[in-house]
Every structure is written in structure tokens, then in C-alpha cells.
Structure 1
Amino acid sequence: ILRILLENKGRVISAEELFHQIWKDEYYSKSNNTITVHIRHLREKMNDTLSKPKYIKTIWGVGYKIEG
């Protein structure tokens, strides 16, 4: 996930697109929390917060991105 976000720095990547790139699986449901959980774990490891993110930004209803 982190590699994909870094390779697309500044671009919003949807959870569905991340899911397909990582697991190469066509099954994805809007209620699927797999990506959300992995993003949370990445944030914990990076000491990043959802309320004031330094690295991984959530674009609500769209996806995730890394700026800078």
C-alpha cells in the first residue's frame, strides 16, 4: 500500500484500486474494510494520526494519498 501511494505521490488512489493492485483480485465490496485496516496499521507504525495526518491523507469518499 505504501509503495503504491508513494509511486503515485499527490494522486488520490481509491481503496478499490489499492485492493486490485495488491491482491490482483476482482472481488471488492464498498463495505470491505481491508484497506482501511491496513492504512490504520501503517499510520500506527509511522506515528501518524487520522485527525492531523502528516503522511497518509484520507480524501473522504474518494481514497488516500501522500503529499509532498
Structure 2
Amino acid sequence: MPKSYLITGGAGFIGLTFTKMMLKETDAQITVLDNLTYASRPLEIEALKKNGRFRFIKGDIYEKEDIEKVFYQK
């Protein structure tokens, strides 16, 4: 069974670089949780959505409801 990873802040430069590396070099399921602030790269996130092992959730790690989406939303 492949591993699953949660990457918070994954829509910025460093997070996207790490996410792309994980998708390329592993068979892991990747979930990115990000607020999409000024530092985000939403067009690159949209491109990653084509990968079946990638999931994006717009949210804040400080919000309980957003964290619940990570674990309970399909």
C-alpha cells in the first residue's frame, strides 16, 4: 500500500518543489493544504490536479474544519 503525505503550505515555491519531487520520485498519495495567499502559485496547483495521486484542499491549518477535510473528504 502506498504511503500518504500531507504537505501544508504546498502551493508556494518550496512546497510546490517538494510536492513535484514527491510525485516524481515516489508512488505516494500527496495531499496539499494551503490558504492560497499572495505567495501561492495556483496555476501550478491546477496542473498538478491532473495527477491521480494528488489532492488539493484550500484551507488553513489553524481551522479545525479545514483539517477535518484532509482526513474525511474523499
Name the TM tier (shorter chain): 0.3 to 0.5
> Normalization by structure 1: what TM-score?
0.34
Relative contact order, CA 8 A, sep 6+: which one is greater? 1
Larger % of strand: which? 2
